[in-house]
Amino acid sequence: MPDALYLWALTLAAFGLFGRRVYGYVKVLRGARSENRWDHIGQRLKLVLVQVLGQRKLIEEPLIGVAHFVIFWAFVIFAASFFWNLVRGLFPFLPIPFADEVGWMRVALEVSGVLGLVALAAAAARRYFFPPDRLEKSRDASLILGLIAIVLLSSLAGQRFGWRAMWWVHMITVLGFLAYLPYSKHLHLLAAPFGVFFGSLQRGSAPPSSPGASRREEFTWRQLFSGLACAECGRCDRSCPSFLGGFALSPKMLMHHMKELVRGDGDGHGEANFVGDVVKREEIWACTTCLACMERCPVMNEHVPVLIEMRRRLVGEGDMDKSLQEALKNLNRYGNSFGAPPRARAKWTQQLGFPIKDARKEPVQYLWFVGDYASYDPRVNAATCAAARVFQKAGLDFGILGDGEQNSGNDVRLAGEEGLYESLQEKNLKVFGRARFQEIITTDPHSFQVLKHQYPASNGARTVRHYTQLLSDLILEGKFPLARKLKMKVTYHDPCYLGRYNAIFNAPRRVLAALGLELVEMPRNRTYSLCCGGGGGRIWMEDPPVFKERPAVSRVNEAAALDVRTLVVVCPKDLVMFQDAIKTTGLEDRLEVKELSELVEQAMG
Amino acid sequence: MHILVLLKMAPDVVEDLEIAPGGKALDLDCLRMILSESDDHALEQALLLKERHGAKITALALDAPEVDDALFTAAAKGADRVMKVVGMDPGFTTREAARYFSQAIAEEPGLLPADLILTGVQAIDDLDGLVAPIVADGLRMPYLGIVTGVALEASAQAARAIKEYPAGVRGEFLVQLPAVLGIQAAEKPPRYVPVAKVRAAMKSVKIECSQALTLADGGLPLVGVVEMKRNEPAGHAEMLEGKPDQVSGQLCGILAERGLF
Amino acid sequence: MTGNICVLAEQWRGQITEVTYETLALGREVADQAGVPLTAILPGSHCRELARFLGAADAVVYIDHPLLAETVPQTCAEAVAQAMAGERPRALLVPLTNISLGIGTLIGVRLGAPVVNFCRDIRVADGRLLADCVMYGGKIEATVEAGAPSGPGPAILGIWPGARQAEKGRAEREVPVTDAAVVLEDTGAIRLCRYIEPEAGDVDLTKQEVLVAVGRGLQDRANLPLAEELARALGGAVCGSRPVIDQGWLPLSRQVGKSGLTVKPKLYVALGISGAPEHIEGMKDAALIVAVNSDPQAPIFSVAHYGIVGDAVETMPALTAAVEARKAAGQHA
What CATH number does residue A585 fall under? 3.40.50
A279 and A177 within one domain: no
A450 and A579 within one domain: no
Using the Cβ of B159 and the Cβ atoms of chain C, whether some distance falls under 8 Å is answered with no
Instruction: Output the CA–CA distances (angstroms, integers) from residue C179 to A101, C72, C173, in the order listed.
Output: 123, 20, 18
**Partners of C133 in the beta sheet?**
C119, C142
Chain B, 199 to 258: residues with Cβ < 8 Å from chain C are 220-241, 244-245, 247-249, 251-256, 258
Q: CA-based angle A172:A174:A176, to the nearest 5?
A: 65
DSSP conformational letter for A196: H
Q: How many CB pairs under 8 A join B and C?
A: 288
Q: pLDDT tens across A163-197, in order?
A: 677 888 888 888 888 888 888 877 888 899 999 99
Pairing of strands C128-135, C115-125: antiparallel
More confident of the two residues B5 and A207:
B5
Q: Is there a contact between C221 and A542 if contact means CB atoms under 8 Å apart?
A: yes
Which residue, among A184, A160, A157, has the nearest Cα to A168 in the 3D structure? A157
**Partners of B3 in the beta sheet?**
B57, B116
Task: State whether the Cα torsion B170-B171-B175-B181 is positive or negative.
Answer: negative
Q: Which segments of A37-102 does DSSP mark as H helices, in order? A: 41-47, 56-59, 62-90
A65 and A141 within one domain: yes
Which residue, among B135, B145, B154, B134, has the nearest Cα to B173 in the 3D structure? B145
Kindly tell me the burial class for residue A312, based on how many C-beta atoms sit within 10 Å of its own C-beta (0-12, 13-18, 19 or more). Answer: buried
Q: What is the nearest CA distance from C140 to chain A, expressed in angstroms?
A: 17
Residues A34 and A37: their CA atoms lie apart, in Å, by: 9
Q: CA-based angle C250:C253:C255, to the nearest 5?
A: 65
Structural domain boundaries enclosing A597:
482-604
Residues A95 and C28: their CA atoms lie apart, in Å, by: 121
Residue A267's pLDDT is 46
Q: If interface means Cβ-Cβ distance under 8 Å, which residues of chain B face chain A?
A: 14-16, 34, 189, 191-199
Using the Cβ of A339 and the Cβ atoms of chain B, whether some distance falls under 8 Å is answered with yes
Q: Is there a contact between B142 and C259 if contact means CB atoms under 8 Å apart?
A: no
Q: What is the nearest CA distance from A357 to chain B, expressed in angstroms?
A: 23
Q: Is there a contact between C319 and B168 if contact means CB atoms under 8 Å apart?
A: no
A349 and A291 within one domain: no
Q: Is there a contact between C222 and A543 if contact means CB atoms under 8 Å apart?
A: yes
Residues B159 and B45: their CA atoms lie apart, in Å, by: 13
A90 and A70 within one domain: yes
CB A256 within 8 A of CB A563: no
Q: CA-based angle B236:B240:B243, to the nearest 5?
A: 150
Residues C86 and C148: their CA atoms lie apart, in Å, by: 18
Residue A270's pLDDT is 57
CB A378 within 8 A of CB C314: yes
Which residue, among B180, B182, B113, has the nearest Cα to B141 in the 3D structure? B180
Complex ipTM value:
0.92
CB C109 within 8 A of CB C98: no
Using the Cβ of B127 and the Cβ atoms of chain C, whether some distance falls under 8 Å is answered with yes
Chain A, 496 to 555: residues with Cβ < 8 Å from chain C are 540, 542-543
**List of chain B residues whose C-beta atoms are within 8 Å of the C-beta of residue C191:** 173-174
Q: Which segments of chain B does DSSP mark as H helices, in order? A: 37-53, 67-77, 94-107, 131-139, 195-204, 244-257
Whether C85 shows a pLDDT value over 90: the answer reads no
CB A410 within 8 A of CB A572: no
Question: What is the biggest distance separating any 2 CA atoms in chain B, rounded to whole angstroms?
Answer: 69
Q: What is the mean pLDDT of residues C158-173?
A: 93
A305 and A222 within one domain: yes
A282 and A233 within one domain: yes
Residue B218's pLDDT is 54
Residues A207 and A199: their CA atoms lie apart, in Å, by: 13
A403 and A369 within one domain: yes
More confident of the two residues A552 and C127:
A552
CB C107 within 8 A of CB C92: yes
Q: Phi first, then psi: what are they for B144, rounded to 5°?
A: -140, 140
DSSP conformational letter for A529: P
Residues C75 and C185: their CA atoms lie apart, in Å, by: 8
Pick out chain A residues at pLDDT < 70. 1, 163, 265-271, 458-461
DSSP string, A497-525: TTTTTT---HHHHHHHHHTTPEE---SS-
Q: Is the peptide bond before A363 cis (omega within 30 degrees of 0)?
A: no
CATH architecture for residues B2-211:
3-Layer(aba) Sandwich (3.40)
Residue type at A104 in one-letter notation: W
Q: Is there a contact between C294 and A583 if contact means CB atoms under 8 Å apart?
A: no
CB B133 within 8 A of CB B143: yes
Residue type at B159 in one-letter notation: A
CB B179 within 8 A of CB B135: no
What pTM value is reported for the model?
Answer: 0.90
Residues A370 and C98: their CA atoms lie apart, in Å, by: 46
Residues C133 and B125: their CA atoms lie apart, in Å, by: 11
Domains of chain B, residue spans: 2-211
Distance between first and last Cα of chain B: 59
Query: Residue C149's pLDDT band (boundaries 50, 70, 90)?
Result: very low
Q: pLDDT tens across B169-223, in order?
A: 999 999 999 999 999 999 998 999 999 999 999 999 999 999 998 766 555 667 8
DSSP string, C197-243: PPPP-SS-GGG-SEEEEE-GGG-SGGGHHHHHHHHHHHT-EEEE-HH
Question: H-helix or E-strand containing B159?
Answer: strand B158-164
Whether C329 shows a pLDDT value over 90: the answer reads no
A447 and A393 within one domain: yes
A461 and A341 within one domain: yes
**List of chain C residues whose C-beta atoms are within 8 Å of the C-beta of residue A339:** 216
User: Which of A475, A509, A528 is a domain's end point?
Assistant: A475
DSSP conformational letter for A482: -
Q: CA-based angle C210:C213:C217, to the nearest 5?
A: 150
Q: Count the neighbouring beta carbons within 10 Å of the beta carbon of residue A259.
A: 21
Q: Is there a contact between B192 and A333 if contact means CB atoms under 8 Å apart?
A: no
Angle (deg, nearest 10), helices A62-90 and A164-180: 110
Residues A416 and A309: their CA atoms lie apart, in Å, by: 7
Decide if A210 is inside a domain.
Answer: no
Residue C199's pLDDT is 80
Residue A268's pLDDT is 45
Residues A70 and A76: their CA atoms lie apart, in Å, by: 10
Decide if A418 is inside a domain.
Answer: yes
Q: Is there a contact between B196 and A211 if contact means CB atoms under 8 Å apart?
A: yes
- Is residue B147 helix, strand or coil? strand
What CATH number is attached to the domain comprising A405? 3.40.50.1860
Domains contained in chain A, number? 4
Partner-chain residue, chosen from A322, A378, A379, that has the shortest CB–CB distance to C247 = A322
More confident of the two residues A557 and C137:
A557
DSSP string, C264-297: --SEEEEES----HHHHHHHTT-SEEEEEES-TT
CB A231 within 8 A of CB A57: no
Residues C167 and C149: their CA atoms lie apart, in Å, by: 33
Whether C112 shows a pLDDT value over 60: the answer reads yes
Question: H-helix or E-strand containing A7?
Answer: helix A2-30
Partner-chain residue, chosen from A339, A379, A543, that has the shortest CB–CB distance to C314 = A379
A440 and A299 within one domain: no
Question: What number of CA atoms fall less than 13 Å from residue A57's CA on the CB side?
Answer: 23
Partner-chain residue, chosen from B130, B167, B225, that has the shortest CB–CB distance to C105 = B130
Mean pLDDT, chain B, integer: 92
Provide the b/e sequence for C264-274 (b: ≥16 CB within 10 Å).
Answer: ebbbbbbbbbb
DSSP string, C136-174: GGGTEEEEEEES-TT-SSPEEEEE-TTSS-GGGG-B-S-
Residues C152 and B182: their CA atoms lie apart, in Å, by: 28
Interface test with C, best of A323, A579, A583 (most C CBs within 10 A): A323
Q: In terms of CA atoms, which chain C residue is nearest residue B236?
A: C302
Which residues are within 8 A (CB) of C73 and not within 5 positions of it... i.e. 6 or more apart?
Answer: B133, B143, B144, B145, C100, C101, C102, C103, C106
User: Which of A167, A183, A199 is a domain's end point?
Assistant: A183
Q: Determine the number of helices (DSSP H) and then strands (DSSP E) in chain C.
A: 7, 17
DSSP conformational letter for C117: E
Chain A, 195 to 254: residues with Cβ < 8 Å from chain B are 211
CB A420 within 8 A of CB A328: yes
Decide if A491 is inside a domain.
Answer: yes
Q: What is the nearest CA distance from B103 to chain C, expressed in angstroms?
A: 16
Question: H-helix or E-strand containing A3?
Answer: helix A2-30
Instruction: Output the CA–CA distances (angstroms, integers) from residue A69 to A52, A55, A61, A298, C52, in the order listed.
Output: 9, 6, 11, 12, 97
Which residues are within 8 A (CB) of C113 and not within 5 positions of it... i.e. 6 or more apart?
Answer: B221, C92, C107, C147, C151, C152, C153, C154, C155, C156
| Residue A45 Cα to chain centre, angstroms | 20
Chain B, 66 to 85: residues with Cβ < 8 Å from chain C are none
Q: Is there a contact between A343 and B16 if contact means CB atoms under 8 Å apart?
A: yes
Residue B154's pLDDT is 87
DSSP string, A387-399: HHHHHHHTT--EE
Query: Residue C299's pLDDT band (boundaries 50, 70, 90)?
Result: confident
More confident of the two residues B243 and A361:
A361
What CATH number is attached to the domain comprising A235? 1.10.1060.10
Task: State whether the Cα torsion A47-A52-A57-A59 is positive or negative.
Answer: negative
Residue A459's pLDDT is 54
Partner-chain residue, chosen from B14, B193, B195, that has the shortest CB–CB distance to A423 = B195
Chain A, 540 to 579: residues with Cβ < 8 Å from chain B are none
A495 and A359 within one domain: no
**List of chain A residues whose C-beta atoms are within 8 Å of the C-beta of residue B13:** none
